[in-house]
Structure 1
Amino acid sequence: MNEPKQYGFYVDTSKCTGCKTCHVACKDRKDLPKDVKWRRVYEYGGGSWQENGDGTVEQSVYSYYVSIGCNHCSNPVCVKACPTGACYKRRSDGLVHIDQGICIGCESCARACPYDAPQIDKAHGVMTKCDGCYERLSQGRNPICVESCPLRALEFGPIDELRAKYGSNADINPLPSASITAPNLVIKRNRNAQAGGEVLNWFEV
């Protein structure tokens, strides 16, 4: 009998250009409402300008992009916060899903999640979120966000394999500390990136 797998994402922020192809492909796959974004691309910037007193200026300004969705966490606070059990973690692949048949749209999962993964479908009064493209996964295919990325900045697979290949770092600004939910996420930091947990100077593009 095969052991259950835990799937996760790898994000290479040294490659991501903020093109949002992953974001658009995800919305198109499920025909998501305008205000529902299962995958989002954030721009983070910082640095400063300094006058040298001799008419010259030095600067350390930088920016980089981070593509993020649901991280199908090992400690999913959304699941703990759900009062009906609609939000649950699948044993077979570790993907966190929402059973819309019993969801009451209370948004408790959204308030608990530090990654803004669960989002309300106002027209239907239920919560929605990244489902890991489980139908594609069952066909041996990648999630649509991964397949659509023109820079190949995203990968998806068993998290132990991704960590063996890329390491275990899951922290980068502007994301919250990985200690909160134990996300199944590996991040390659852009050369300008800070460690993580300091949510400053960022916006969604």
Structure 2
Amino acid sequence: MSRQMAFYVEQKHCTGCNTCQIACKDKNNLSRGERFRQVHAYEGGSFTVENKVIEHNIYAYWVSVSCNHCINPHCVTVCPSGAIDKRAEDGLVLIDSERCTGCRRCLAACPYQAPQFDVTTCKMKKCDFCQDLLKEGKVPVCISACPMRVLGYGELKELQKKYGYANWVKGLPDTTELKPAWVLTPHRDAIDLRKD
């Protein structure tokens, strides 16, 4: 693979407005229930009252997730028709709708639930990194729509050089084996506390 394209999420400034999700849904003319990009909210913590003083340790943060075009994508290996492929020139994981049988094995294999079943065509589809826009020299619609400018994209190695290697935060599924091709600047309450 010559390069690996990836998304960047500056999670610490995401307000959970869902504009990226809505813009993606609109651009791709997705049906009810279909979402190529999903914004997940995580909240928790507790508070105590001591000597009439309330001390709180509560938090809330959001993370915008789409297909992460993983280095080792399980969706590719489970597809019985060979409809899903990891493209060599840019590392994008794409679905060939002509070969797709709509069996939904890719959906079951993806911890991010990135592949979506189209009830109209009975085929699977998912984020293709807005290839049509990239060919026109434009950015993916989720990125251009974000009012907080917390989304970005580029080559994975360049993003890692600039922002670090974080690609997991509390609340997301453990995807160490898949090696998702995305980089996060985590919210302070979402920092990876797993022991290596």
Q: TM-score range by the shorter chain?
A: over 0.9
Quote how far apart the aligned CAs of 1:111 are. 0.3
1:5 and 1:136 mapped to 2: Cα distance? 19
Quote how far apart the aligned CAs of 1:196 are. 7.0
What residue number does 1:129 align with?
A: 126
1:148 and 1:114 mapped to 2: Cα distance? 25
Q: Which runs of 5+ in 2 are unaligned?
A: none
Quote how far apart the aligned CAs of 1:188 are. 0.5
Instruction: Determine helix, strand or coil for the equivalent of 1:80.
Output: helix
What residue number does 2:15 align with?
A: 17
What residue number does 1:201 align with?
A: none
Q: Deviations over 1:148-197 (max 9, x none)?
A: 11111000111111111101110102112231310001011101114178
Corresponding residue to 2:177 among 161, 175, 180? 180
Check the 8 A contact 2:25/2:35 in 1, yes or no. Answer: yes
Corresponding residue to 1:103 among 100, 105, 121? 100
2:193 and 2:127 mapped to 1: Cα distance? 23
Check the 8 A contact 1:98/1:127 in 2, yes or no. Answer: yes
- Runs of 4+ aligned residues of structure 1 deviating over 4 Å after TM superposition are none
1:108 and 1:152 mapped to 2: Cα distance? 34
Check the 8 A contact 1:109/1:118 in 2, yes or no. Answer: yes
How many percent of aligned residue pairs carry the same amino acid?
43
Check the 8 A contact 1:177/1:196 in 2, yes or no. Answer: no
What residue number does 2:53 align with?
A: 56
Check the 8 A contact 1:114/1:176 in 2, yes or no. Answer: yes
Q: What amino acid does structure 1 have at the position aligned with 2:20?
A: C
Q: Measured at CA, do residues 109 and 196 of structure 1 come closer, stay the same or move farther in structure 2, by a change above 3 Å? A: farther
Check the 8 A contact 2:24/2:36 in 1, yes or no. Answer: yes
Check the 8 A contact 2:6/2:156 in 1, yes or no. Answer: yes
Corresponding residue to 1:154 among 151, 155, 159? 151
Quote how far apart the aligned CAs of 1:4 are. 2.4
What residue number does 2:73 align with?
A: 76
What residue number does 2:2 align with?
A: 4
Check the 8 A contact 2:111/2:175 in 1, yes or no. Answer: no
Instruction: Determine helix, strand or coil for the equivalent of 1:14.
Output: helix
2:66 and 2:149 mapped to 1: Cα distance? 16
Check the 8 A contact 1:73/1:183 in 2, yes or no. Answer: yes
Instruction: Determine helix, strand or coil for the equivalent of 1:26.
Output: helix
2:56 and 2:5 mapped to 1: Cα distance? 41
Q: Measured at CA, do residues 196 and 30 of structure 1 come closer, stay the same or move farther in structure 2, by a change above 3 Å? A: farther
TM-score, normalised on structure 2?
Answer: 0.95
